[in-house]
Structure 1
Amino acid sequence: MATLEEAEFCFPKLLNSSCKKIMRPHSVSMLTYITLSSISVLTVTLNLMVIVSICHFKKLHTPTNLLLLSLAVSDFFVGLLIVFQIILIDGCWFLGDLMCSLYFLFDYVITSASVGTMVLISIDRYVAICFPFHYSTKVTVRSVFICVCVCWTCSFLYNCLILKDNFYQPGRYSSCYGECVIIINSIAGISDTIITFIIPITVIVVVYLKVFVVVMSQVRSVRPRVAAVTLQGSVKVNLKKSELKAARTLGVVVVVFLICACPYFCVTLTGGGTVFTASSVAFVMCLFYLNSCLNPLIYALFYPWFRKSVKLTFTLQILRPGSCDANIV
């Protein structure tokens, strides 16, 4: 009898008020644990490498890399938050009602800051490609730092406002002990989806489309002049490679983010005014978390300086005096 109670209830001693565990086959539970743990470790490791590289090497202290640093920091914390999602696999929360509310607050703040940083990165690339002569004067380390600080501050204040009702009396929306839920009314839910998903996605897609059009027009304008060059064949090949690389990178950035983020925000949009149980949206949340693991691969791994910095870090050469001045660009 005791074994049955322990298998079914989060708190076996509180049978009348304890939540029941989500019963799954052992193989499914193990696969879920391994998948989430792998995503968490990869997310933390990859983003930590980006953070160490940009902070350590002075040559990487540029406006664009500062945005990558902000994205890596938010994604690093997302990797840590996955640990709490692992705790919720069985549908039981053992850390208390206040920690439950804080968990959702940190989750919302970090993911919002990540989306905001992606918008800033798209704008940075737009200015760099479409207005190259004004880029160095308009986009500086100081201006980017201010934008990043504003992004994080607004994300924190905005999500505190959205979730404020859940902090007045933590746990008042829970129907049993061991449940971790929050309440977001329908108006706030729809507004949150518009502000943190629809508007950012629209900006990112429109900006990247404009960047793509500018890149294609530049390639077409260069081709007639390239035709007169003696090494016509080899130069054309290089242009085609750069053209395909630009198209592929922009496509990966937009498509991967849409694939990872759309299910999560669709659940949020259709679930306005209802109780959000962390265990019931585990799949879409994990898919959204996966984007934080892919971001360093998309934004940083394709850069040669990232591969060099990883090599210097793993070989402990960054511990040598003057290593921060190394030219890895």
Structure 2
Amino acid sequence: MDDRDIECNITVQYCFPDNNASCVKEVRTGPAYIFLFIVLSCISVCTVFLNLLVIISISHFKQLHTPTNLIILSLAAADLLVGLIVMPVNIMQLIDSCWYLGNLVCSMFSVVSPLSMLASVFSLVLIAVDRYIAVCDPLLYPSRVTIYKMSAYVALGWSFGLLYTIIFINVNDLLPPYTTTKCYGECFLVVKHSLVLTDLVISLLTPCSVILVLYGLIFKVARRQAKAVKAVKNGASNKKGAKVLGSSQTKAAKKLSIIIFVYLACWIPFYLSPLSSEIMISSSVVWTVFGWLMYINSSVNPLIYAIFYSWFRESTKYILSCRIFQSSSSRFNLFPEDF
């Protein structure tokens, strides 16, 4: 059989056969892709389910209406977007190369995906600032950090993330080399090298530097407080109370620091990978692997809450047993730990 016979036996499929500008269709249906589809779909479902538990818990139970939990609520909302929108779309593109949802939805997805990332990192910065104030000045913390102030900061963070994403995409489209859609039925983002460096500084280096500096100061204060607690163990009750409060805040800071360092481990490879090339396409293998490592972080965060926070375990029991539908369920005692 010569090359002409082989070519005749190959049937080229298009995403939209009736459109002359349609992309070539590539459907990946091998056993490995089927297995990958099942695994990633399960991860997506678990991400949505677990983060919904966090959101319902903090929203419903009055004992959890604290400034710190409001930041965790913001982080869970960003993780929910990843599990509900970002993951399913990436699974669809992994199995079928065609984009069937149109240019408008493609543009919306190009905004939602980076917005969820920026909202996550801003929430982590807020957690670091919140813990710094709580540990370094525990007696004045209730007056300095309130629900209303934290709500404003969270809203500001999401607004900044949305504005930055829109500007980033528009500027990226205007910079040379100009890129246009090669065919009808594809959706991917081409990021210019100059903007990769800018985004690296704004989205990773700056917030991570703030987080690491603040946690360095937190643990420095924590060591000093630990020594002070031992020194005043038999001292005046008011001093002891202040130190015990600081110790409690330090324990909470250590637990939340796990969320932050897991975040860094999952996200740093994704942000550093584009530095090796002039132009990175969001559909490349490198971005696919590192992207999913980053997405899985959205599944890990609720698991960290389940391991370390009794209030999350208790609230989950009430939610799964449907006891939250009782009239007084919002006032149930969840035995929350001090934050």
TM-score, normalization: structure 2?
0.82
Corresponding residue to 1:84 among 86, 89, 94:
89
Is this contact kept in 2: 1:18–1:178, CA < 8 A? yes
Change in Cα spacing, 1:86 to 1:327, as seen in structure 2 (3 Å) is same
The one-letter amino acid of 1:173's match is T
- Alpha-carbon separation, structure 2, partners of 1:4 and 1:105: 38
Of 83, 99, 102, which residue of structure 1 is paired with 2:105? 99
Change (3 A) 1:308 1:214: same
The whole-number CA distance in structure 2 between the counterparts of 1:304 and 1:190 is 41
- Of stretches 279-288 and 306-315 in structure 1, the one that deviates more from structure 2 is 279-288
Distance 1:2 1:15 in 2: 21
Q: 1:192 aligns to what? A: 199
- After TM superposition, the structure 1 = structure 2 runs for residues 191-270 of structure 1, keeping only pairs within 5 Å, are 191-223=198-230, 249=255, 252-270=258-276
Q: Does residue 45 in structure 1 map to residue 49 in structure 2?
A: yes
Question: 5+ unaligned residues in a row in structure 2: which ranges?
Answer: 1-6, 236-247
Q: Is the 8 A contact 2:54 2:302 kept in 1?
A: yes
Which contiguous aligned blocks of 4+ residues in structure 1 show a shift greater than 6 angstroms? 13-16, 242-248
Partner SS state of residue 89, structure 1: helix
Q: Deviation of residue 153 (structure 1)?
A: 0.3
Unaligned runs of 5+ in 1: 230-241
Q: Deviations over 1:108-154 (max 9, x none)?
A: 11111111001101111111111112211110001000000000000
Q: Is the 8 A contact 2:44 2:83 kept in 1?
A: yes
The CA distance in 1 between the partners of 2:253 and 2:68, in whole Å, is 20
1:319 and 1:72 map into 2 onto residues whose CA distance is: 22
Q: 1:316 to 1:247 in 2, by over 3 A?
A: closer
Relative to 1, partners in 2 of residues 1:245 and 1:125: Cα closer, same or farther, differing over 3 Å?
A: closer
- Give the 3-state SS of the residue equivalent to 1:163 in structure 2: helix
SS in 2 for 1:84: helix
Matched, 1:144 2:150: yes
Residue identity matched to 1:207: L
Provide the residue aligned with 2:76 in structure 1.
72
Aligned-residue offset at 1:221: 3.0
Point out the more displaced range, 303-312 or 259-268: 259-268
Secondary structure class of the residue paired with 2:41:
helix
| Equivalent position amino acid for 2:207 in 1 | P
- Give the 3-state SS of the residue equivalent to 1:94 in structure 2: coil
Q: 1:299 offset after TM fit, Å?
A: 4.2
What SS class does the counterpart of residue 186 from structure 2 fall into? coil
Between stretches 264-273 and 191-200, larger displacement belongs to: 264-273
Q: State the Cα distance separating 1:15 from its structure 2 match.
A: 8.5
TM-score normalised per structure 1 = 0.84
Cα contact 2:98–2:186 (8 A) shared by 1? yes
**Offset of 1:22 from its aligned partner?**
6.5
The answer as to whether partners of 1:219 and 1:243 remain within 8 angstroms in 2 is no
What percentage of aligned pairs have identical amino acids?
36
* C-alpha distance after superposition, 1:254-285 (max 9, x if no partner): 43112210111112444454443366622111
Q: Assess, with a 3 A threshold, how the Cα gap between structure 1 residues 176 and 145 changes in structure 2: closer, same or farther.
A: same
- SS of residue paired to 2:23: coil
